[in-house]
Structure 1
Amino acid sequence: MVGTAATAAAAADVPVVGSFLWKGVANVDASRCMDPLVRESDLRVMEDVITEEEELVVAEECMKILKRRRYEEDHWDQVIVKFKEMERSRWSTETKRILDRLREVPILPQGLEYFPAVHVIDLAEDGFIKPHVDSIKFSGRVVAGVSLLSPSIMRFKEEHGESIIDAFLPRRSFYVMTGRVRYHYTHEILPGVQVFRNEFPVNRTRRISIMLRDEFQKEHLEAQDINLS
């Protein structure tokens, strides 16, 4: 099981070489990916990065802060439907400790310069996130997040091709996208009940995600043959 291996690797404080690369992870369905340019390290998933108790600590603090806000019907860039969100850098001592530890998850690349604030998205049970590529001008080479309260399926679609990758994200799981998947694939959170690998249903309910991003650096775009000018 991915989560068991992940916990052991984290406890041993050793670098992860291949255990969580997407081609070898049961949580990732790459059967419809024909893209030869995608590297195994471009998408990683790790289970149980926090405990159930830690999940509740973080989720309850987020809900307390956001409780007076209504779920918005549409995002400013028309990507998210029925959501609340915030960027926040001030947290309780316990939540800060948990978030600091997330930045040390072994599937993250080394030496990242993180934004000081984390991005929180509270997605209603009947909300969803449409296909999009995160801004390449204002954030760096990594988009990563931990899923709280609900399992979900995140779908990645090649922007200029037909490849599709589905990732099953259980509660308390952590995903990292970088490289070609970060820059050349859209990602979305599917609504309602979905079936993963034609094997089992995934009933997505209210979901809180805690997003980590690193600072923009021009050389990251150059490595992907992306020109902003």
Structure 2
Amino acid sequence: MEVLFLDEECQLLQEIEPHMKRMRWEEEHWDQQIHLYREREQLKWNTNNQKIVERIWRTSFPNSTRKSPYVHILDLHECGFIRPHVDESRYCGGIISGLSLLSTSIMRLVHTNPQLSNICKADLLLPRRSLYRLTGLARFEFTHEILANEESNFRGKYVPRQRRISVICREFPVSQNDVTSSKPENQMKIIPQSE
């Protein structure tokens, strides 16, 4: 479901693009998770775009959340992709929410336990101007990735992916004790087969 009107997407891009155009495309992220990208953090927004950022917060985060004032902007080249990974809790808390601009893409979630990874996986269609939210099991027990254009298939149909900008809101990083307590109690476990 789209959460932005086309004119709101244009308005966000008018503020984001001048900064991004001054940056060069990076081939590899420092943690080797992203290929062909540009990224930055943005603290201040114009009045109209601040309302959009606040809408992301209202939609995705409880009122009690300690939100980071910095919004992460990730610009993924049309030939770029994001490899499977779990974001480290020392960089962000238990909820990550992102707005997809410019292009539809496929996010793949795969369970981190190798014994479950063949059966516990899902491809999520992220339409242009949609909002995604990762929390709970999806946040802590599944890797997430954005498929490369040539792998971008959803339910047997090719979904062309072009350049994509994500506007990502996150909680403040949490301590290791908080991470352990915020992980869902209903974690997926392997049930031994009876003989």
State the TM-score, normalized to the length of structure 1.
Answer: 0.73
Deviation at 1:223, TM superposition (A): 3.7
Q: Tell me the matched-pair count.
A: 178
Change (3 A) 1:149 1:180: same
**Does residue 115 in structure 1 map to residue 38 in structure 2?**
no
1:73 aligns with 2:27: yes
The 3 A distance-change label for structure 1 pair 110 and 197 is: farther
The answer to whether the 8 A contact 2:86-2:143 is kept is: yes
Deviation string 1:48-92 (CA, Å, 9 cap, x unpaired) is 111111011112211111111111101011111111000111122
Deviations 1:128-153 (A, max 9, x none): 01111101123111011010000000
Unaligned runs of 5+ in 2: 186-195
Superposed CA offset, 1:92-129 (max 9, x none): 22211211122111x54442211000000000000001
2:97 equivalent to 1:144: yes
Runs of 4+ in 1 over 6 A off after TM superposition: none
Counterpart residue number, 1:213: 170
Q: 2:44 aligns with which of 87, 90, 94?
A: 90
Q: Which residue of 2 aligns with 1:49?
A: 3
TM-score in terms of structure 2 length:
0.85
Q: Which residue of 2 aligns with 1:197?
A: 155
Q: 2-side partners of 1:97 and 1:150: how far apart?
A: 22
3-state secondary structure, aligned to 2:159: strand
Cα separation, 2, equivalents of 1:183 and 1:201: 29
SS of residue matched to 1:94: helix
Give the distance between the partners of 2:52 and 2:19, measured in 1 at CA: 17
